Amino acid sequence: MSTTFTPLPEASTADLVADRLRDAILDGTLRPGDRLVETDLAERFAVSRGPVREAIRLLAPEGLVILRRNRGAIVASPTFDDVLEVYAARLSLGTLALTHAVETRSGESSRFAEAVDLLTTMRDDSVQADPQAMLEADLAFQDAVLGLSGLPRISTMLEQSARDAASFVSLLGITYDSTDHVALIERHERLLNSIAAGDADATVAAWQQHISATVSEFARAYGADAHIHDHPLAHHVLGTNQETP
């Protein structure tokens, strides 16, 4: 190739502004429904409005910001429908990835050992004492397990859904308490053991159980327990054989 490209800076101003806004949203400084006024943000960051506008645009696909035509942008306030849609996709794509992982005997690979190490990290008391560290360890474990499939496009879509899930957790103020840790780790252990045993049915069942438990946790945050089974997507994320309470 004869074309010569000019080296680019490691991060543009828009990227840096997006990083600062993302941090402010995820740590609760900016709350769901807060308006993102370009002129105010430009003044605070001491930049022109262009990078601020681009930064806000960058955050929209992450589900952190909602762009409203002729009305500006606001920090997203995810609905329970949003949660169900993301986890329905996560369930379906994860089932495909995990089935392929079992069929290709990935339980015998070095990448499987990485997932085992990440689960060990989740058992660490210091990690469990830090909600953000626990969230990151949990999602890293899931990414590693789902990545066992070796299906790059499926993995990319699952990684995006994991980012959506992380933003939901932060925006809704969901925390990982000690009771959640025990149940969460037990679910992940069942998932790993099923993969190692080469049992596709048990692996899919373990993944279904994890998705169902996670969505139920979100339902409690929304106060939606009594109506969760009435939602059109509920049978996808909770299992078709579950009875309405």
pLDDT grade for 233, boundaries at 50, 70 and 90: confident
Query: What would the mean pLDDT of 17-43 be, rounded to a whole number?
Result: 91
Residue with tokens 């780790």: 185
CA distances from 7 to 1, 11, 17 (A): 16, 12, 21
Three-state DSSP class for 186?
A: helix
Q: What element of type H or E holds 132?
A: helix 131-146
Query: Dihedral (C-alpha) 38, 42, 47, 53: value to the nearest 10 degrees?
Result: -20
Higher pLDDT, 168 or 144: 144
Give the pLDDT mean for 232-244: 62
Beta bridge partners of 75: 65
Confidence label for 242 from pLDDT (cuts 50, 70 and 90): very low
Please state the pTM of the whole predicted model: 0.79
Dihedral angle of Cα 221, 227, 231, 236, to the nearest 10 degrees = 70
**Cβ-contact 36, 75 below 8 angstroms:** yes
Domains of the chain: 13-75 (1.10.10.10), 80-238 (1.20.120.530)
Q: Mind listing the pLDDT tens digit for each residue in 45-104?
A: 999 999 999 999 999 988 889 998 878 899 988 888 888 899 999 999 999 999 999 999
Measure the CA–CA gap between 97 and 150, rounded to whole angstroms. 8
* pLDDT recorded at residue 243: 40
Q: What pLDDT is attached to residue 137?
A: 93
